[in-house]
C-alpha cells in the first residue's frame, strides 16, 4: 500500500494493520452487506469467511443478533482487534434501498438491478458498469412439490396459471391430490422478483392472494415438503426434502434444474446472483469481497454452498433425434464447456457476465492445450421471418466471440451458426429471445 493510499484510509477513519492487509475501521463494521436472502443466508457469510481467512484473521466466527435474517461475521487480528462484517438478508430490493440511504456498502441481489433503481442510485455512479455489476454465481429457481406428488414436469404457461390461482386442482394437471396449495417468497425477495419476471408478468398474471408467503427460503421448502398438495418456487440450494420437477418454456424441452443446464443458463428458470458495488465506493473491503468472489477460491465456496460456480468445465452431451445432424455430430466428437456467451440487450456486445467468462474460457483453453484448432464456436438466435437471416445472425454472434479469442492467441477450428434451432426459451417474449441469442463453446 502506498503512503498516499494509506493517508487516504487514515483520513477516512481507517487503520491499516499491515502493508498487505486491508485497513480496519477505528469504529463500526468493516463492511455492511444488505439484500438477497438467497445470498445472505449462507453464500454471502461463507464468502466473507473466506475473505477473512485470506486476510490472515483469526478466530473467525458468526454472531446472530436479535433481528431475524441478520448475521455478523467476526475475525480477529494478531493484535487482538475485532473485524466485523454485517450481513442483512431481507430481500434484494432492500439492498438497493440501503445503498441509497448509505446504510450498506454492498448490495447482494438475486436479480438484475431495475431501471428505476439505477436511476435512483445514479449519484453513486453507473451500477451497470462491469466493475459495479458482479455476477458471483448462477442459481436455478426450482419448482418444488411434495415428494409424494407423481407429477414430473410442467411448462411456464402452466406455472403462470397455477400461481395466478386459475388452475385450482392437481387433477387439472393430470395428477392427483385435490386443491393446489401455493407457497411463495415475500415481496422483498429477489427470488419472488425473478419468478414474477420469468413466469407471471410475462403472461400478464399476478400471484394469487391465496399463496402463503415466506421471508425464509428454508421455511418455504419445509412447508411444501410437509404438504401433499403444496407447490412452491425456491433457489436451488433450498430444495432440501422436496421434489423438483422438469420445466419447459415455449418450444424448449422440459429440463430438470441440473447443474450443467443451470451453469449454461439453458434451464428456463436459471438466474444470476449479483454483488452490486457502487463505483465511487471508498470502502476497500467491498471491492476485496467482490474480487474474492470471482477468484477460484471464491467460486469453490459458491459450489460448496449449493449454487452453481462459474468455473469452466468440459461436459459430454448425449446426441438425440431432436438435434440437427451437424450438432449431433459435434456432440459425438467434442465436449461442451459449461458456459454460454450472451449479449447485452439490444446489442451485439458481450454482457458483463460474458466479459468475466471470456477470461475464464481463455484460462481453460490455455491450461488444457486447446489453443491450436481445438475450439469450435456455435451460435444460436431467436426466430426470424427469414430463416437465412436467423442463420446469419447466429453465426455473427459466434464471430464476435471468435474475435475476442483470436486476439488472445487462440486459433479456431470452426465457427458455426444454427439459427433459431434448439431454443432454450420461448421466442414470444424479450427475455426468451435474449436467452436464445447465445454462443456455445466446444472443445476437441
Least confident of 123-127, 227-231, 423-427: 423-427
Q: What is the pLDDT of residue 346?
A: 57
Q: What is the pLDDT of residue 281?
A: 86
DSSP characters over 131-167: TTEEEEEEEEEEEEE-TT----EEEHHHHHHHHTTSS
Kindly tell me the burial class for residue 203, based on how many C-beta atoms sit within 10 Å of its own C-beta (0-12, 13-18, 19 or more).
middle
Q: State the Cα–Cα distance between residues 20 and 2, nearest whole angstrom.
A: 10
Which residue from 202, 442, 200 is spatially nearest to 211, judged by alpha carbons?
200
Half-sphere exposure of 426 (CA within 13 A, CB side): 15
Q: What is the pLDDT of residue 69?
A: 92
The model's confidence at residue 12, banded by pLDDT at 50, 70 and 90, is very low
Give the tens place of pLDDT for each residue, 81-90: 999 999 999 9
Q: What is the pLDDT of residue 348?
A: 66
159-166 mean pLDDT: 98
Give the tens place of pLDDT for each residue, 360-419: 999 999 999 999 999 999 999 888 878 888 888 889 999 999 999 999 999 999 999 999
Question: Would 3-137+272-304 and 312-443 be classified into the same CATH topology?
Answer: no
Q: State the Cα–Cα distance between residues 420 and 397, nearest whole angstrom.
A: 13
298 pLDDT above the threshold of 90: yes
Using DSSP, state whether 110 is helix, strand or coil.
Answer: coil
Domain residue spans of the chain: 3-137+272-304, 139-263, 312-443
Rg (CA), the chain: 23
Share of the chain above pLDDT 90, in %: 75
Give the tens place of pLDDT for each residue, 329-351: 999 999 999 999 987 665 667 88
CA 151 from centre of chain: 27
Q: Which CATH architecture has domain 3-137+272-304?
A: 3-Layer(aba) Sandwich (3.40)
Q: What CATH homologous superfamily does 139-263 map to?
A: Periplasmic binding protein-like II (3.40.190.10)
Q: What CATH homologous superfamily does 312-443 map to?
A: OmpA-like domain (3.30.1330.60)
Amino acid at each position: 500500500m502506498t503512503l498516499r493510499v494509506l493517508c487516504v484510509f487514515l483520513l477516512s477513519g481507517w487503520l491499516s494493520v499491515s502493508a498487505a492487509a486491508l485497513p480496519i475501521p477505528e469504529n463500526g463494521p468493516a463492511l455492511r452487506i444488505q439484500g438477497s436472502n438467497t445470498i445472505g443466508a449462507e453464500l454471502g457469510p461463507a464468502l466473507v469467511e473466506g475473505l477473512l481467512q485470506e486476510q490472515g484473521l483469526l478466530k473467525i466466527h458468526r454472531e446472530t443478533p436479535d433481528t431475524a435474517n441478520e448475521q455478523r461475521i467476526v475475525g480477529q487480528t494478531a493484535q487482538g482487534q475485532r473485524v466485523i462484517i454485517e450481513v442483512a438478508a431481507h430481500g434484494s430490493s432492500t439492498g438497493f434501498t440501503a445503498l441509497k440511504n448509505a446504510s450498506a456498502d454492498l448490495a447482494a441481489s438475486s436479480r438484475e438491478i431495475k431501471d428505476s433503481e439505477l436511476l435512483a442510485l445514479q449519484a453513486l455512479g453507473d451500477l451497470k458498469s462491469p466493475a459495479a455489476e458482479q455476477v458471483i454465481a448462477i442459481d436455478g429457481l426450482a419448482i418444488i412439490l411434495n415428494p409424494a406428488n407423481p407429477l414430473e414436469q410442467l411448462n411456464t404457461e402452466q406455472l403462470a396459471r397455477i400461481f395466478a390461482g386459475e388452475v385450482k386442482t392437481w387433477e387439472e394437471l393430470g395428477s392427483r391430490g385435490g386443491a393446489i396449495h401455493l407457497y411463495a417468497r415475500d415481496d422483498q425477495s429477489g427470488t419472488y422478483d425473478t419468478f414474477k419476471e420469468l413466469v407471471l408478468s410475462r403472461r400478464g398474471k399476478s400471484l394469487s392472494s391465496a399463496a402463503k408467503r415466506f421471508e425464509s427460503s428454508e421455511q418455504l421448502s419445509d412447508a411444501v415438503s410437509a404438504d401433499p398438495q403444496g407447490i412452491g418456487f425456491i433457489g436451488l440450494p433450498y430444495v432440501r426434502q422436496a421434489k423438483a420437477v422438469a420445466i419447459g418454456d415455449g418450444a424448449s424441452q422440459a429440463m430438470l434444474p441440473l447443474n450443467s443446464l443451470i451453469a449454461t443458463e439453458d434451464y428456463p428458470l436459471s438466474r444470476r446472483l449479483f454483488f452490486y458495488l457502487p463505483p465511487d465506493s471508498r470502502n476497500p473491503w467491498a471491492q476485496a469481497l467482490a474480487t474474492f468472489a470471482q477468484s477460484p477460491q471464491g467460486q469453490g465456496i459458491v459450489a460448496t454452498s449449493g449454487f452453481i460456480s462459474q468455473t469452466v468445465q468440459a461436459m459430454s452431451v448425449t446426441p438425440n433425434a431432436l438435434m440437427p445432424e451437424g450438432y449431433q455430430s459435434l456432440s459425438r466428437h467434442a465436449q461442451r464447456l459449461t458456459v454460454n456467451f450472451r449479449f447485452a440487450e439490444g446489442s451485439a456486445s458481450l454482457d458483463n457476465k460474458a466479459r468475466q467468462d471470456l477470461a475464464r474460457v481463455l484460462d481453460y483453453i490455455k491450461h488444457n492445450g486447446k489453443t491450436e484448432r481445438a475450439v469450435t464456436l456455435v451460435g444460436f438466435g431467436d426466430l426470424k421471418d427469414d430463416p437465412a437471416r436467423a442463420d446469419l445472425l447466429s453465426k455473427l454472434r459466434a464471430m464476435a466471440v471468435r474475435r475476442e479469442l483470436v486476439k488472445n492467441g487462440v486459433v479456431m477450428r470452426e465457427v458455426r451458426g444454427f439459427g433459431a434451432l434448439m431454443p432454450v426459451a420461448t421466442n414470444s417474449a424479450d427475455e426468451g429471445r435474449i436467452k436464445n441469442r447465445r454462443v456455445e463453446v466446444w472443445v476437441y
